[in-house]
Amino acid sequence: MPADQIGLFQETSPYSCPLFKIDPQKVWVKQTDSGSLAIMQRQMSKAVWRPAPGRKLAFEVMHDQTLIGLIFLASPVINLTARDTFLNLSKDPKEKGKQLRSVMDVSVCVSAQPLGWHWNAGKLCAMLASTLGDFFTARYGDRLDHLMTTSLWGRGTQYNRVWKFLGYTKGHGHEHIDDDRYHKMLQWLKDNGHEVPSCKFGAGSNPRMRRIAAYRKHSGDKTVTLVHGNKRGIYYHQAIDHTKRQEVINAWFKRWGLPRYEKTKHMVAPYQNGLSNAEEVSKETRLASGQEGEVRVLDSAPTSKRMAAQ
């Protein structure tokens, strides 16, 4: 991360990107490291996220020299029923592992606020994520064919009509267990002579969940559960050749970016940074600006086909 940019994320206030007129020809993607992106993500989004072991690629979405979004690609989860059915993945673990080498999860996809609200920039990041196969191949030698992601809750507005909706997760996970309680569980396992499951790559998927499960098993503490009940939308997008990246940016600008800007440029955004309390945004404001989270999702063709049809 450049020295002048590091300062922005060491301030106590969240990162904020004020409204300006976007030129699609000045939008580009810059690769960065996982540690830097983790710092930026905490200052731009309330979503709890931690880089996990495995393959990973971090990106800053830039407008000239201004940061307007973040994208993080990570190794896919081993089992996801809706994805496995849609891609017709093998039930044999070894064969399935080979098939998943061409799949990545988009675990961070966030735009800087309030610019993102005015420009529908979350959709820009979601669409750009599908074009990053050249970075993936350069780093890992495999071809990127498929991308998966899940919304923070329900059906995610930034993926509507640009990614294919496959269904919902079952509401399992550890997002409701904070770091303090998690570390107390690890200490209990150590103090009582139990093995702490490894977080090394290859030891198994999601070490945090495996460690929490180990604590629950050995301690008998039934107040600990890996069911939080937050069912997330599951989305799929076929990878798009990186040579069409500018076409994707132009398609976003024409269909999603400029119309939102023209509609909202004289409005005050309901939040000035990504750490604002989304619950404070009134339903009326979100409906008026197309931000309502339960808008019906229309099934749509992949981005490349839609661009050809325009």
What is the pLDDT averaged over residues 21-44?
Answer: 96
Distance CA 164, CA 177 (A): 30
Question: Could you tell me which of 84, 76, 14 has the C-alpha nearest to residue 43?
Answer: 14
**Residue bearing the bigger pLDDT, 63 or 180:** 63
Distance of alpha carbon 231 from its chain centroid, rounded? 15
Chain segment 230-278, per-residue pLDDT in tens = 577 899 999 999 999 999 999 999 999 999 999 999 999 998 998 876 4
What is the pLDDT averaged over residues 141-165?
Answer: 86
Chain segment 276-296, per-residue pLDDT in tens = 764 444 344 444 444 333 222
* Average predicted confidence (pLDDT) for the chain: 81
> Does the pLDDT value for residue 203 go beyond 70?
no
Distance CA 37, CA 34 (A): 5
Chain segment 186-198, per-residue pLDDT in tens = 787 888 887 777 7
What structural domains and CATH numbers belong to the chain?
Answer: 3-170+230-294 (3.40.630), 179-219 (no CATH)
